[in-house]
Amino acid sequence: MLASRFWYVFLGLLVGVATFLLFLATSMYNRAGARAMGEALSSDSQVVNWYLSNDARQRSAQLIQFGIDADIARSLVKANDNDQKVPDEAREKAMTALKKVNAGMPTDQAFDAVFLVDQHGRVVAHLGYEQASGNENFELGGYPVVADALRGYIRDDTLVLDRIYRVVARPVEADTSQMPAGAIVGARILDDRFARELSSRTGAAIAFYTSGARVSSGAPETFNSAQLDQIVGDFASLEGDEEYQSKGRSKVRTIAGMVGVQYSKLPGEAWKLGAGYAVAREPKAVAGPFGFFKTADDQDKANANVALAVAVALGAALIGIGFSLLEHTRPIHNFRLEVQKLAKGEIDQLQPSRFHGAFRKIASDLNDGVDKILAKGGGPRRGPADLKEVLGDLPAEPQMSAFSFPGEHMPAVPSSGSGPHTNPVVTPKGLPTVPVNPRLPKPPGRNASNLDSTMEAQGDVLSSASPMSGSWGAEAPELADWRAVYQDFVALKQQCGESTDGFTYEKFEATLTRSRDNLMNRHGANRVKFSVYVKEGKAALKATPLKD
């Protein structure tokens, strides 16, 4: 059983190692997922930053169409000439020109709002910013982006007004020898539409925020956009992020273990106002070793080497079964076979050397037990019942002669005898003999020394004997009995259809003599009484040692 036990220990260790590896893999997977999420978030943040900058550049190029429009330039010159009030005529012309140019803008490059600003910073005309409609004092000249445009620069900015605006501005020139006549300012609102557009082009989940509140968001379909609401609760601790305050981009932060976020400040005035954008991703993590089953998709499952796993499992099972066959089933089978041989009498004792391990010890102990039982004169008889066992100690020879055997009262047999020779053996009262249960205790008062023994007629022992009888002269009483027994035995054999060729009395006597001596030596009996009976359809002899 050593191999089996080793296999169990090996399997136990294997399961332990597999469990440890699963937890290790879980930790590594989660760590790798967190690292990948961090890298992805940084990438997202960069992509969004580049997109915002590139989008502003592309849109600033669209502003050229406004800058080269002659009507716009002329209306600005007229506005500049009056430092008290923008002439209505200039406003009307500017508005008409703005609408005309704006109508020709590509849809994907169009602005949400366009402002035409004169040298004084006053808004001469605007489109898309209805909040300022009718406000003659509406101006934008104080913002650096507009001031720069009025001084010959193209640049972008992010303004936080009533909403967050991405703004680009460029000068409008009427006379290149003079200061620019004014500036054209284009603005895009960072609303949900912009965020969705940005998300679709960058693949990032993004939310814009200002003043501690999310103002817009957009996310891919695979991302739960409700997760973006959680950033609101994170703003308070964001103030303590040194990288965010100094570099404008926070470290990757995980909110409630459900969403990874990186915050970035928007360039421009929004930077100082704490406005920015957050990119978010859901972390790739599993709750435990069994979380892999939930996380794995069809592709993962397809990549798993199921055949190898099954082969390992089958191999382990087969090895285990093999060990159990070798160390359990096969020894038991062998032992059973040997014991069966012992039971059939094919062998006298078990051979411990043919067994291994515990079976060797069992066989040895069994042999010792058999030897001890035999040394005590044998155990309870397991053969057919006989009168002695049923009736107790049989009386001495004279009494035996007075005993009535069923065969004696039956119709005459070819040769009469004094011993039992019929089957079944019956009790003196004519009742059938109850088979003796070997487990029953011996009858009380039974003399242990009056043991009986059964000797069956074996072909190899007796068959060679001649049926011829010897002389019947003056013989000892024992020999006379033996002759009677011989006659009964021959008669019974003939009744049973057995051959009696060569079955001589001399051989019969020699056999009885050898048996008698043997039994007398073994049991210390004074004499041995032989009788005949039928066993399994054959004639058999029964020897009863007597001490009287």
Partner 1 sequence: MSTFWTRLSPRWGVGACASLLALLFTSASADAARVKGRLEGFRLLRNPVWAEAKDSANHGFSFREPVPTVRAEFRRPFPHIPKELCVALLAATPQPAQKPVLVRVGGGRTTPVTIVVPPGTRLTFQNTDPFKHRLYGVGIKTFLPAEQGQGAAREWTPAAPGVYEIRDEAAPSLRMWIVAEPHLASIAYPSLKGEFSVNVEQPGEYTLQAFFAGKKVGDAVPVKVDAADVDLRAAIRVMDQKTADAEEKADAEKAAKAPKAQDAK
Q: Out of 19, 27, 53, 399, point to the residue binding partner 1 (CB under 8 A).
A: 53
User: Of the listed pieces 99-107, 131-139, 297-305, 441-449, which binds partner 1 according to CB under 8 A?
Assistant: 131-139
Give least dist CB 266 to partner 1, A: 9
Q: Which stretch binds partner 1 (CB under 8 A): 5-13, 247-255, 392-400, 414-422?
A: 247-255
Q: Does 170 bind partner 1 (CB under 8 A)?
A: yes
Own/partner pairs for 118-123, CB < 8 Å, 24+ apart? 118/76, 118/79, 118/80, 118/86, 118/181, 118/182, 119/76, 119/80, 119/150, 119/179, 119/180, 119/181, 119/182, 120/79, 120/80, 120/83, 121/146, 121/147, 121/150, 122/79, 122/86
* 107 vs 177 by CB, closer to partner 1: 177
Q: Of 275 and 366, which has the nearer Cβ to partner 1?
A: 275
Q: How far apart are CA 153 and CA 331, in angstroms?
A: 99
137 is a site residue for partner 1 (CB under 8 A): yes
Q: Indicate the residue type of 496.
A: C
Q: By CB under 8 A, is residue 177 in contact with partner 1?
A: yes
Nearer to partner 1, 164 or 259 (CB): 164
Q: How many Å apart are CA 545 and CA 547, to the nearest integer?
A: 7
Give me the least distance between CB of 97 and partner 1, in Å please. 20
For the CB of residue 193, give the shortest distance to partner 1 in the complex, in Å.
20
Phi and psi dihedrals of 479, rounded to 5?
-65, -35
- C-alpha to C-alpha distance for 437 and 489, rounded to whole angstroms: 27
For residues 408 and 293, give the distance between their C-alpha atoms in angstroms, rounded to a whole number.
89
As given in the structure block, the two tokens for residue 462 are 């007796």
**Is-contact 169 182, C-beta < 8 A?**
no
Q: Does 305 bind partner 1 (CB under 8 A)?
A: no
Query: Contact with partner 1 (CB under 8 A): which of 1, 3, 95, 179?
Result: 179
The answer to whether 352 contacts partner 1 (rule: CB under 8 A) is: no
**Residue 76 token pair:** 């600005």
Residue 470 touching partner 1 (CB under 8 A): no
Q: CA-CA distance, 455 to 457, in Å (whole number)?
A: 6
* 134 part of the interface to partner 1, by CB under 8 A: yes
In whole angstroms, how close is the CB of 281 to partner 1 at the nearest point?
20
User: Of these, 72, 113, 114, 145, which contacts partner 1 (CB under 8 A)?
Assistant: 145
Q: Which of 85, 301, 361, 382 binds partner 1 (CB under 8 A)?
A: 85
If binding is defined by CB under 8 A, does position 72 make contact with partner 1?
A: no
Other CB atoms closer than 10 Å to residue 34's CB: what's the count? 16
Interacting residue with partner 1 among 78, 91, 93, 265 (CB under 8 A): 265
Distance from C-alpha of 68 to C-alpha of 471, rounded to nearest angstrom: 160
Residues 358-397 that bind partner 1 (CB under 8 A): none
Nearer residue to partner 1 within complex by CB, 181 or 205: 181
CB-based contact 397:529 (threshold 8 Å):
yes
Under the binding rule (CB under 8 A), the answer on residue 105 touching partner 1 is no
Q: Closer to partner 1 at the Cβ: 98 or 150?
A: 150
Q: Which segment (240-248, 291-299, 433-441, 531-539) binds partner 1 by CB under 8 A?
A: 240-248
Spatial CA neighbour of 167 closest among 113, 105, 248: 113
Which is it for strands 538-546 and 453-456: parallel, antiparallel or unpaired? antiparallel
Cα dihedral 454, 455, 458, 463 sign: negative
- Residue 136 or 475: the one with the smaller Cβ distance to partner 1 is 136
The residue within the footprint of partner 1, chosen from 235, 271, 292, 403 (CB under 8 A), is 271
| Shortest CB 142 distance to partner 1, Å | 3
- Alpha helices, DSSP H only, in 63-87? 64-67, 70-81
CB-based contacts of 121: which residues, under 8 Å, 6+ apart? Answer: 139, 140, 141, 142, 146, 147, 150
Q: Does 216 bind partner 1 (CB under 8 A)?
A: no
**Residue 52 near partner 1 by CB under 8 A:** yes
> What is the residue-wise DSSP string for 166-200?
EEEEEEE-S-TTS--SEEEEEEEE-SHHHHHHHHH
Q: How far, in Å, CA of 143 to CA of 185, rounded?
A: 11
Nearest 5°: phi and psi at 248?
85, 5
Shortest distance in whole angstroms from residue 108 CB to partner 1 = 20
Check binding of 267 to partner 1 (CB under 8 A). yes
Stretch that binds partner 1, among 142-150, 252-260, 387-395, 535-543 (CB under 8 A): 142-150
| 441 touches partner 1 (CB under 8 A) | no
Q: Which residue's CB is nearer to partner 1, number 117 or number 219?
A: 117
Residue 47 in contact with residue 204, Cβ under 8 Å?
Answer: yes
Number of residues that bind partner 1 (CB under 8 A): 59
Q: Which is nearer to partner 1, 107 or 246 (CB)?
A: 246
Pick one of 5, 247, 328, 361: the residue that binds partner 1 (CB under 8 A). Answer: 247
Residue from 5, 31, 57, 382 binding partner 1 (CB under 8 A): 57
- The residues of the shown chain that bind partner 1, judged by CB under 8 A, are 49, 52-53, 56-57, 80, 83-85, 119-123, 131-132, 134-148, 151-157, 160-162, 170-171, 173, 176-177, 179-180, 246-249, 265, 267-269, 271-273
